[in-house]
Amino acid sequence: MPALNKKMELICPAGNLPTLRAAVDNGADAVYIGFRNRTNARNFPGLNFSPEEALEGVRYARINGKRLFLAINTFPVPEHWQEAVKAVDKAAEIGVDALILADIGLMNYTARTHPDLRLHLSVQGSATNRHAIAFYHEQFGISRVVLPRVLSLAQVQQLTEKTPVEVEVFGYGSLCVMVEGRCALSSYVTGNSPNSAGVCSPAHAVRWLETPSGRDAYLDGVLINRYHDGETAGYPTICKGRFKVNNHIFHSIEEPVCLNVLEILPELVNAGVSAIKVEGRQRSRAYVSTVARTLRAALDSYHVDPDNFKPRNEWITQLNQLAEGNCHTLGAYHRSWQ
């Protein structure tokens, strides 16, 4: 459903109230958060919101004319079903502007129990074709789909032309080599699936060891990476670890790099994309403030003069300084063979 006559919405993450306020103050149109439990896919210690904090977040967003979305985007196993249902009920009670869901059972429960609550299909739902998206729209009345980061720009354009709901894409942040909602790598090593426990590489499984040759990063006793003196050390995940293959040690699955769509912003707007989303509810307030402010400036610049839009060097520099690997990519959006 193209949104050519509407301004593209900027959706920013928040892992706590100060970050939520920073996102709103620096130009986010909407902020997405999660409860402090396994119902959201960023279930790290010290992050996320109690119901009371989420309510305060709703109030702050509303006062400033913004919206608040809440992600319940994991897949509850039987013994955790009631926890997930209670989270849905609490989100409705708080009055969030939209609920971001992945599990089809929770979709069904929410559509029946809270029919006036706006639903967005999470990226964890892995809907990559118009038939899947149409199913969620027809059965549960979703208003928006967040597309997985595995589609090319041409494929995104094809979807927006034939999809009856708003389309949201990721515009900045860390990439994942897997289709969201289908990764089992973390579960393979730690026994905790990010799709049900809500966290990839849980903190309790992470261990750092200082050695004469540098810093070693372990995940549940498995050596994931070895960093030399002065080398930036990233959070240990299997997909971004370095492994020995044919006697060469390198990032054999995925290199640490950051998605940045400034280069193709006009194409995304013209394709009818309704919103761009920033990854990173685990990121700092300073990170969210800078990214929100920079992308706000870029979006405003485009809408003032779309025919002459060009990413400014200072925008690229600011975002690269925060980027994983200190560099950026268009990821799957740019596939030369399509």
Q: What is the pLDDT along the chain (338 residues), one digit of tens a residue?
A: 444 447 899 999 999 999 999 999 999 999 999 999 989 888 888 899 999 999 999 999 999 999 999 999 999 999 999 999 999 999 999 999 999 999 999 999 999 999 999 999 999 999 999 999 999 999 999 999 999 988 899 999 999 999 999 999 999 888 776 666 667 777 778 877 777 666 777 888 899 998 887 889 898 888 888 888 877 777 788 777 888 888 888 777 776 678 889 999 999 999 999 999 999 898 999 999 999 999 999 999 999 999 999 999 999 999 988 877 666 777 777 876 55
Distance, CA of 190 to CA of 184 (rounded, Å): 10
- Please give the Cα distance from 41 to 185 (Å, whole number): 15
Residue 288 to residue 19: CA distance in whole angstroms: 7
Say whether 12 sits in a helix, a strand or coil.
Answer: strand
Dist. CA 287–CA 56, nearest whole Å: 22
**Tell me, what's the pLDDT at 198?**
67
User: Among candidates 321, 291, 274, 302, which has minimal Cα distance to 165?
Assistant: 274
Domain ranges of the chain: 9-175+257-333, 193-250
What's the confidence (pLDDT) of residue 117? 98
Helix pair 104-113, 81-94: axis angle to 10 deg: 40
CA distances to 34, 110, 131, 216 from 210, in Å: 34, 48, 51, 6
94 in helix, strand or coil?
helix
Chain centroid offset of residue 214 CA: 31
CB of 217 closer than 8 Å to CB of 206: yes
pLDDT at res. 66: 98
Q: Report whether 186 contacts 180 (CB < 8 A).
A: no
Please give the structure tokens belonging to residue 282. Answer: 């685990």
pTM, 2 dp: 0.85
Angle at 181 (CA atoms; ends 269, 207), nearest 5 degrees? 110
The CATH number that domain 9-175+257-333 falls under is 3.20.20.70
Which of 166, 188, 164, 184 lies closest to 176 in space, CA to CA? 184
CA–CA separation, 178 and 270 (whole Å): 27
Spatial contact of 217 and 229, defined as CB atoms under 8 Å apart? no
Q: According to the model, what pLDDT value does residue 1 have?
A: 47
CB 169, CB 147: distance < 8 Å: yes
Question: Which residues have CB under 8 Å from 33's CB, separation 6+?
Answer: 13, 14, 15, 20, 48, 49, 54, 57, 68, 69, 70, 71, 281
CA distances from 311 to 18, 23, 221, 263, 291 (A): 29, 21, 44, 6, 14
State residue 67 phi and psi, 5-degree precision: -120, 155
Residue 148 per-residue DSSP state: P
